């Protein structure tokens, strides 16, 4: 097996695996080489003559609709009349239409309303008005993967999922760049589903950065797991627990805030720019030694086992059923949990400190 340039790693089925991870079993799914599409792989003419309806005008809807328009696509925006998003779309130069009207003439329908609103949107407004050969598109697979939406067999069903917030989808496009995207094909009724989806990805700037092939199931399950175990849930709980540990030991809350929350951005930026290795290069040897010897004591084998439990509940549909039931019951428990986070003492400390951070205020 050829050795990788990094002496601390080896090449395994298309992935670099660092020395300490050699004991991991590499499954056949992991061994499959990743397929990535770029500008040369997209047919820029595939959207000619097509009407694209974007449903929703939040972070992703606004960015994707504007990028599509600037790429020369014929775009309409479907919204609930006279709401705040309706007025924003008008201010941005669109002539929004009610959901049903936007659906009637659309060849491609990109559904970008919140997950819990998609089923009602589809059943009430889109399904009765779909053209026989219209393509349904998503930027997250939740409703298709968990069978909340079940399109008829005659429709292409695809996904183009930018791996960034909407504001970056827009600003990177305006710079002449783009953000990476995922592509997945759930139904290929026309035989041209991938061609159309890639053309859509190109029109929002995705092929400039690369479009990774996946499935609705893989995108949904990995996205939910990342949010719950690491990016949102895991990071939040780690920050709170670290802050509480320092404050309970008698340290100043403000110093604890800087160490456990504020400086996290510096580390994450290094991760983003060049992975764990780049972070290790820019922090001190003292920080690195403490990280590699004490980090595994905090996020240990038991933590990984609990992560596996979280993943299992995503895979078997337990989380989807729980979240759907919570939404349908009115969401009081959800609101209470959010309020508890909002009222955590670290938030009061942070709000006071951030008032003195002019660079943050300017960014907002």
Give which of 204, 222, 224 is closest to 214, Cα–Cα.
222
* Cα–Cα distance measured from residue 336 to residue 289, given in angstroms and rounded to the nearest whole number: 40
pLDDT digits 0-9 by tens, 208-247: 999 999 999 999 999 999 999 999 999 999 999 999 999 9
Q: What pLDDT does 362 receive?
A: 58
pLDDT digits 0-9 by tens, 124-163: 999 999 999 999 999 999 999 999 999 999 999 999 999 9
8 Å CB contact between 205 and 53: no
8 Å CB contact between 66 and 92: yes
8 Å CB contact between 223 and 183: no
Q: What pLDDT does 24 receive?
A: 54
Q: Which residues of the chain have pLDDT under 50?
A: 1-23, 26, 28, 364
Q: What pLDDT does 137 receive?
A: 98
Q: What pLDDT does 275 receive?
A: 96
Task: Report strand pairing: 108-111 vs 15-18.
Answer: unpaired
User: H-type helices in 185-263, by residue range?
Assistant: 193-203, 206-209, 216-225, 233-248, 253-257
Give per-residue burial for 141-161: e unless 16+ CB within 10 Å, then b.
bbbbbbebbebeeebbbbbbb
Q: What pLDDT does 143 receive?
A: 98
Please identify every residue annotated as catalytic.
140
Q: What pLDDT does 96 receive?
A: 97
Task: Report strand pairing: 15-18 vs 97-98.
Answer: unpaired
Q: What pLDDT does 363 receive?
A: 53
Q: What pLDDT does 33 receive?
A: 67
Q: What pLDDT does 9 receive?
A: 33
184 SS3 class: strand
φ, ψ of residue 73 in degrees (nearest 5): -75, 155
DSSP 219-238: HHHHHHHIIIIIITHHHHHH
């Amino acid at each position: 097996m050829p050795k990788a340039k990094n002496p601390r790693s080896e090449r395994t089925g298309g992935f670099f695996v660092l020395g300490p991870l050699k004991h991991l079993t590499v499954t056949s799914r992991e061994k499959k080489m990743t397929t990535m599409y770029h500008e040369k792989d997209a047919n820029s003419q595939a959207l000619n003559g097509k009407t694209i309806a974007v449903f929703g005008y939040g972070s992703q809807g606004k960015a994707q609709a504007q990028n599509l328009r600037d790429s020369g696509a014929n775009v309409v925006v479907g919204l609930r009349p006279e709401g705040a998003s309706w007025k924003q779309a008008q201010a941005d130069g669109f002539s929004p239409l009610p959901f049903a009207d936007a659906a009637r003439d659309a060849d491609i329908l990109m559904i970008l309303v919140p997950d819990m609103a998609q089923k009602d949107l589809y059943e009430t407004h889109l399904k009765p008005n779909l053209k026989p050969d219209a393509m349904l598109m998503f930027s997250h697979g939740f409703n298709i993967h968990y069978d909340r939406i079940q399109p008829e067999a005659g429709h292409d069903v695809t996904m183009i999922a930018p791996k960034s917030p909407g504001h970056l989808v827009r600003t990177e496009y305006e710079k002449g760049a783009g953000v990476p995207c995922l592509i997945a094909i759930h139904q290929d009724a026309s035989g041209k589903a991938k061609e159309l989806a890639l053309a859509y990805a190109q029109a929002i700037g995705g092929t400039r950065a690369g479009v990774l092939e996946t499935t609705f199931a893989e995108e949904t399950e990995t996205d939910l797991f990342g949010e719950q175990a690491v990016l949102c849930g895991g990071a939040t709980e780690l920050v709170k627990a670290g802050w509480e540990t320092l404050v309970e030991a008698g340290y100043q809350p403000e110093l604890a805030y800087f160490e456990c929350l504020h400086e996290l951005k510096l580390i994450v930026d290094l991760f983003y720019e060049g992975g764990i290795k780049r972070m290790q290069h820019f922090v001190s040897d003292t920080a690195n030694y403490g990280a590699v010897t004490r980090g595994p004591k905090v996020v240990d084998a038991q933590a990984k086992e609990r992560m596996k439990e979280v993943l299992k509940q995503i895979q078997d549909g337990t989380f989807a059923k729980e979240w759907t039931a919570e939404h349908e019951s009115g969401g009081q428990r959800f609101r209470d949990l959010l309020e508890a986070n909002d009222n955590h003492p670290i938030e009061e400390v942070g709000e006071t400190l951030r008032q003195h951070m002019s660079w943050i205020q300017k960014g907002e």
